[in-house]
Amino acid sequence: MARSGKKALKILMVNKYFRPFGGVESYMFGWKKLFEEKGHSVIFFSMKHPQNLPCPQSKYFVEQVDYSDLSQPGFVEKLRMSLRIIYNLEAKRKMEALIRDEKPDIAHFQNIYHQLSPSIIYPLVKHNIPIVMKLADYKLICLNYRFISNHRICNACETGHYWKAIPAKCVKDSYGATIVNLVEHYAHKFLGVYKKIDLLISPSHFLRKKHIAMGINPRQITTIENFKALETYRPHYEHDNYILFFGRVVLEKGIKTLIKAFGDLPDIPLRIAGNGPDKELLQKFTQDQDIKNVEFVGFKTGDDLAHLIKNATFTVVPSEWYENCSNTVIEAFAYGKPVIGSDIGGIPEQVLHGRNGYLFQPGNVQQLSGLIRKLYDSPDLVRQMGMEARRTVETKYSDERHYKRLLDVYRRLIAEKAGLSVGDRVR
């Protein structure tokens, strides 16, 4: 029984990966722990993989398939893969079986694209099971998920003419992969499959507004921010006098701008934690510019990453793309660290200029280096902003707040599907 005294729910979580893979999966397993601790039953639908964690519902998972290199297969194989991406019959059949056996109250989608496909929506609609879908990116309105082309922000498809992605090879720098994603997009738009989802959940107001501007019904999308389990994060207001960037090492994260800024700050050390396709390029740039105070420390996780964050003076999120609700910002805040972040995407909703950090114009090296110097030379301000950062997490990104807001959405949708009024919600 749920601790609120109302009937516990059986919630079906759907995500194509069921192993530690990225931020989406980190959220999913944190969400699982949160809702199970509150007394609800959580079941899963996913894809088989040798590294999957144990799961009682694994017999329903679809067979493993890898679409990581759509640029290589020939025409016939591309066609077969395209059809499976558009409508996966195996996934639909297995979803039907899971619904029949488990009878969930509601379905919560994460990443269903390609390997699962929206075909799984139809059995849920057939059985009158409400569906919510958490948006972690811009997939519904951008073929490459990120509004990025050639490492720069691209809004060429804002008019709805997605064919413009072909000459730019927007997906994996490949005509083939771009065409597959274009066919998928138009097919799903024609079928109206995503309109069958009851509610889209955006972690930032920016992402919500971007979807609405691209044609999503405002009544179909709401904002619920990400969360951190606060009991696992102890704020640490002391530091070892270095600045930290942690995350994926790609150009659109603004790391080159960050390195240039530290070229003007030779007495301040920067540590860059993470891996990515542009790491070697950025390391070479650092060496060529003879910047001695920047250290690439590699990929860190668990206690090693926690130690790096806790002992940093503050962190920098210099993104030059439309960040959604940055988990790196929330994690830094949870440890009591101020953040200097780009004034772009959802970051200004998190970093409040002059309170828990500073904002700077994306790509502006001089402005960024000036703010780094100002904060680094002000230890009292670092501590004050760090305490405000922790308060931000406690009030806006706490697990309890996230749970209550999501549960309210679940119960409202279940009641609406059952034809009940708001006052007669599921109890």
Residue 179 DSSP label: H
Give which of 241, 311, 300 is closest to 275, Cα–Cα. 300
- Which pairs count as long-range contacts for 290-296, CB under 8 Å and 24+ apart, including other chains? 291/259, 291/262, 291/263, 291/266, 292/266, 293/262, 293/265, 293/266, 293/267, 293/268, 293/269, 294/259, 294/262, 294/269, 294/270, 295/269, 295/270, 295/271, 296/249, 296/272
159-167 mean pLDDT: 84
The band of 406, judged by pLDDT with boundaries at 50, 70 and 90, is very high
CA distance 418 to 165: 42
Tens digit of each residue's pLDDT (9 = 90 or more) over 61-93: 999 987 665 555 565 666 677 678 888 999 999
Q: How confident is the model at residue 161 (pLDDT cuts 50, 70, 90)?
A: confident
Task: Indicate the pairing of strand 339-342 with strand 314-317.
Answer: parallel
Mean per-residue pLDDT, 122-150: 93
Measured from the Cβ of residue 250, the count of other Cβ atoms closer than 10 Å reads 21
CA angle 82, 83, 85 (to 5 degrees): 65
DSSP string, 96-109: HHHHHHH--SEEEE
Report field, pTM of the whole predicted structure over 0.95: no
Tokens 């609800």 locate to: 40
- Low-confidence winner among 115-124, 125-134, 168-177 (lowest mean pLDDT): 168-177
Q: Which residue has the higher pLDDT, 75 or 124?
A: 124
Q: Quick check: 110 pLDDT over 90?
A: yes
Contacts of 147 (CB under 8 A, 6+ apart): 138, 153, 154, 155, 321, 322
Which domains are assigned to the chain? 10-227+398-424 (3.40.50.2000), 230-396 (3.40.50.2000)
Give me the DSSP letters along 290-309.
T--SEEEEE---HHHHHHHH
Burial of 361 (0-12, 13-18, 19+ CB in 10 A): exposed
Predicted local distance difference test score (pLDDT) of residue 74: 62
Averaged over 129-133, what is the pLDDT?
98
Mean pLDDT of the chain: 92
- Residue 185's pLDDT is 86
> pLDDT per residue over 366-378, tens digit each?
999 999 999 999 9
pLDDT at 61: 97
As a whole number, mean pLDDT of residues 243-257 equals 96
* C-alpha closest to that of 413 among 132, 208, 140: 132
Check residue 421 and give its pLDDT.
Answer: 42
Task: Report helix, strand or coil for 333.
Answer: helix
Q: What are the pLDDT digits (tens) for 174-213? A: 888 888 888 888 888 888 999 999 999 999 999 999 999 9
State the pLDDT confidence band at 2, using cuts at 50, 70 and 90: low
The arithmetic mean of pLDDT across residues 218-223, rounded, is 97
49 in Cβ contact with 18 (< 8 Å): yes
Distance CA 110, CA 10 (A): 17
- Give the angle subtended at the CA of 307 by the CAs of 302 and 308, to the nearest 5°: 100
Confidence class for position 424, pLDDT limits 50, 70, 90: very low
What pLDDT score does 195 carry? Answer: 95
Q: What is the pLDDT of residues 257-301, one digit of tens each?
A: 999 999 999 999 999 999 999 999 999 999 999 999 999 999 998
pLDDT higher than threshold 60 for residue 427: no
pLDDT of residue 75: 57
Q: What is the pLDDT of residue 5?
A: 54
Residue with tokens 């082309």: 149
Q: For residues 234 and 225, give the distance between their C-alpha atoms in angstroms, rounded to a whole number.
A: 21
Determine the distance from the C-alpha atom of residue 318 to the mean position of all C-alpha atoms in its chain, rounded to a whole number.
17
* pLDDT band, residue 426 (cuts 50/70/90): very low
Q: Is 423 a residue whose pLDDT tops 90?
A: no
**8 DSSP 8-state letter:** P
Does residue 38 contact residue 73 with C-beta atoms inside 8 Å? Answer: no
pLDDT at 388: 98
Helix then strand then coil, % of the chain, to nearest 5: 45, 15, 40
